[in-house]
Amino acid sequence: MTGPLKTLADVEKLTFDWLDWYNNRRLHSALGNMPPEEYERNYYAETNGPINVEAANKTAA
């Protein structure tokens, strides 16, 4: 975004975009220059096996 932020929606969009980058796409040197999201996905794949998306989205009955 270029120019001043004029509305609360502008601030929210900019904040959301930064948080998305920081939590999902930035390269983190402590993680071997891997994005945090990828590192977490690899960690759980190694410790728990492949993630079953349907099972992960079900709630306990």
Asked whether the beta carbons of 39 and 30 are under 8 A apart, the reply is no
Question: What are the pLDDT tens digits along the chain (61 aa)?
Answer: 678 999 999 999 999 999 999 988 999 999 999 998 899 888 988 887 655 666 666 665 5
Q: Strand locations in the chain, DSSP E? A: none
pLDDT of residue 48: 78
pLDDT of residue 32: 92
Can you tell me the distance from the alpha carbon of 55 to that of 61, in angstroms, rounded to the nearest whole number?
A: 13
Whether the pTM exceeds 0.85: the reply is: no
Match 């999902």 to its residue by tokens. Answer: 24
